[in-house]
Amino acid sequence: MSETESIDSADIRLLLAIRQCGTLAAAARQLGLTASAVSQRLQQLEQRLDTRLVDRTARKLQFSEEGALLCDRGIELVAQFDALHEDLRAQRRGLVGTLKINAPFGFGRRHLAPVVADFQRENPEVGVILTLTEQPLTNGTERYDVIVHIGELRASNLIGHLIAPNTRFVCASPALVRRFGEPQTPDELARLPCIVLQENDEDASLWQFSKGKTRLSVRVSSKLNCNDGDIVRRWACEGRGIILRSEWDVADDLRSGALRKLLPAWKALDADVIALTHHRSGLPRRTRDFMQYLQSRFRPLPPWRT
């Protein structure tokens, strides 16, 4: 590649900011530049490469095939460059920089927040931003270094790292069991009051079970639905209905007797806790060390199994 065709990490960052923000003005705000400066830098890059990268005439910015290629391939190169830079700094000063983490509300509050606080205390030069959301995988994943997810991971370019095993239990309060009787098979759930948690864009009222080689799906009916797992759990403890919840959420209630596990011979789908990163290698040292720290806090047994 000749000197006039060269590109560097700043060029890639410019394109990535434009793609993420959707407009030149928004990209300028993110980069701390004026809109005219961003437009000029983009024009200069296109002139050097003699290639149109972004179509600015459409109502919405459209990347050309070459522009999309630079973004898709360049994002990993930028990440590797940043990781190298952070490793060099860490050699001199220890862990530094900012770590951005996204996680679900319930798990984030109860189990992740203490781990994050302890990690930051042990690495005071690292700034940590923990964002809790209802749906971590639909909330701009490119803005985060680590995304904590619970359950099945659908098609994704993200790399999964197992944090802790976690299954799901069908539970109800003893009072509800006394009132309606205890179901013997999953099919009986269809006629019993259930509470449905809406999360991760899942078909929340379709509960799936297995017993040996037998697979069974049951469509439950519910007069109570919520997108907050803590509310769903509390409703169940009050005897309002049967729930299908992660063991990390109901383990304490099962121990105390506030909830009873139903259908012990049938197994619901597992919902392991995983951490997602954008790359398998080339991660900044602070991200690698946090991942190891996070895994160590949930091994050999996670707190809900101790």
* pLDDT tens-digit series, residues 86-113: 677 666 556 788 999 999 999 999 999 9
Q: What average pLDDT does this structure show over 1-5?
A: 48
Provide the pLDDT confidence category of residue 3 given band limits of 50, 70 and 90: very low
Strands 126-133, 97-104: parallel, antiparallel or unpaired by DSSP? Answer: parallel
**Residue bearing the bigger pLDDT, 144 or 82:** 144
Predicted confidence (pLDDT) at residue 85 exceeds the cutoff of 60: yes
For the beta carbon of residue 127, count every other beta carbon within 10 angstroms.
13
Q: What pLDDT is stored for residue 17 in this prediction?
A: 87
Q: What average pLDDT does this structure show over 237-265?
A: 97
Q: Within its chain, how far is the Cα of 116 from the centroid?
A: 15
CA distance 259 to 171: 6
**Residue bearing the bigger pLDDT, 242 or 31:** 242
Provide the pLDDT confidence category of residue 155 given band limits of 50, 70 and 90: low
Question: What DSSP character marks residue 264?
Answer: T
Domains of the chain: 3-86 (1.10.10.10), 94-166+272-305 (3.40.190.10), 168-268 (3.40.190.10)
Q: What pLDDT is stored for residue 246 in this prediction?
A: 95
Q: What pLDDT is stored for residue 189 in this prediction?
A: 96
CA distance 167 to 232: 17
The owner of tokens 């003893």 is: 174
Average confidence score pLDDT of the chain: 88
- CB-count burial class (<10 Å; 0-12, 13-18, 19+) for 39: middle
Question: What DSSP character marks residue 77?
Answer: H
Q: Within its chain, how far is the Cα of 49 from the centroid?
A: 37
Residue 289 zone, left/alpha/beta (φ > 0; ψ -120 to 50; rest):
alpha
pLDDT tens digits, residue range 190-199? 999 999 998 7
Residue of 270, 237, 228, 267 whose CA lies nearest to 110:
228
Q: Which residues contact 268 (CB under 8 A, 6 or more apart)?
A: 167, 168, 169, 170, 207, 208, 209, 244
